[in-house]
Chain A
Amino acid sequence: MFPESTRLALTLIFACVLTACGESPSGNADNGDRAAPNPNPFPSTYQPLPSEDFLIRNATVLIGDGNRIEEGSVLVRDGKIAEVGANVEAPDGVEVIDAAGRWVTPGIIDVHSHLGVYASPAVAAHSDGNELTSPVTAEVWAEHSVNPQDPGFAAAMAGGVTAMQILPGSGNLIGGRSVTLKNVPARTTQGMKFPGAPYGLKMACGENPKRVYGTGKGQAPSTAMGNVAGYREAWIKAEEYNQDWQDYLDGDSDDRPNRDLELETLSGVLNGEILVHNHCYRADEMAVMLDIAKEFGYRVTSFHHAVEAYKVADLLAENGTCASMWADWWGFKMEAFDGVRENIALVDQAGACAIVHSDSAQGIQRLNQEAAKVIAAANRGGIPVSEESAWRWLSANPAKALGIADQTGTLEAGKNADLVIWDGNPFSVYTHAEEVFVDGALVYDRNDESRQPTADFMLGIIEVDGEIK
């Protein structure tokens, strides 16, 4: 998944973001006596919540990789999936959950959320998602804007979401670093950070940067070509910076380069450690962005929104680039005018990695229903899509796009027990996520109010009939 041009000498600087060392608040990486900057100054402090082993039996199990087991079993031990099969025996002392009539799936992973960076209520003081002071702000990190007390996290949990990528907004050409979170309540954002998840970089094509800067501020970029010049200028600077550090760490130069937060992040992309998530609606613009990636030796991990992905689904497949899409949003701006209901299925059919995303505190609560609408539209349009196959759009493919597929996204032995028990077919509007587990811990139970987290903001916020709620 990394560009072939990865420069080994420099991986030390950024390697930690892809490995388990993310948990240790280590100091500077060591390369002889030449030190690279600490790649992980805000380490995850996430600890799994208390859990007990359990065995789910008699459930319709969607593995998440495209397979399905009727009347299947899922055994969870020590927060991990221990065994999945048609009939797993319960080890001694392990609680058995009879899930007859219910469905079990991997937890939903949303690759495109602004929870926390635009926390509810959406007052000006909570507008922390777009650093609209310069078209390239690779130096900002979304995690420093995340308010872990956003009530939207709990609402997403009730919709079966167990992990999500929080992105900066799309007003800038390069908006900054994303962060991948586990959907668990925590006092700090570090307490939600998905251990070992790589960082992402938010880039944006099209109308938004032009509107914010050209129309809004009378400065570049004001055109699509201005956008492209802006990306390329940034990457040229990043290449130079990257080379300077490489020379220094290799001992070819004795001048320790001055640190530059913007270029540090961009270098992380060039070295394959930070994954590019590129807001881009139009087919022709996606093709240009893929060429820019080739010019500078990085990969676009996923296009986001990608309303016209169906027009270049073959190109996405060729480039191994995912498209993260809505089921049916269209028409709210010019670049979204050509939406079709079959978009996600057409991308999938072409062999590209298709993802259902939300970009919405509302939509994130019902991503399973969004997938259901696509299944129906696709089947009606002559593109056969099964339920088990469609679940890849909700967990396995997003996990891949976030670089956490080795830990979550499918119900396979050894992976984290991030899963949902649904009270029926999750592709029905009437179905609820009944129990949601993260690392084997029951973080949400629809039938038990004591297992329904609420944000501080919601506590004692309103009086109803003499009761403070």
Chain B
Amino acid sequence: MNKTLLLLPLILALFIFPNIVFAQTAAEINKLRSTLSTTEQSKLRNCLSLESQMKTDLSNLMVLTGTMAVNLETIYTKTESYYRNTLTTQNKTLPGYDNTSSSISQNFNTIRESINRSREASNKISCTSREAKNYFQEYRTNMGLAVSLLKQSKEELTQLLLKLKDLETLNP
């Protein structure tokens, strides 16, 4: 008797839970069917089948961008340390260094913010959301900004390092 009582909730859960899920899914599908055209449904089916993969791809892009930003920032920190602790102590200074350095540093902050905004947008992307396209566009805009700032920072750092290389060969 006791065993039966213990099993009862389990059996109920086993029967009721799938039914609830099924009923909710069916209701959701019906709601969508009534509002979407055939083309839209086909797009939705494609999107749903690829949603998980798409999110993984978007996440990978953010990881890769973040890794590149960290690598660039490491180079920037080493450059900054070399300039402040070695070159300036030898009375070797580069005109405009502070401006360039601060611009690069600011870029890293913006890159981080853009990646964070992209992450927020990508978390909100869902094929069943009416706003999905907007969030996708937001992701694209922010990631585009991050990548273009990465390019700009790389170029500025390269130019800076070349100037510092010339500077270090000069006699004080």
**Do the two chains bind?**
no
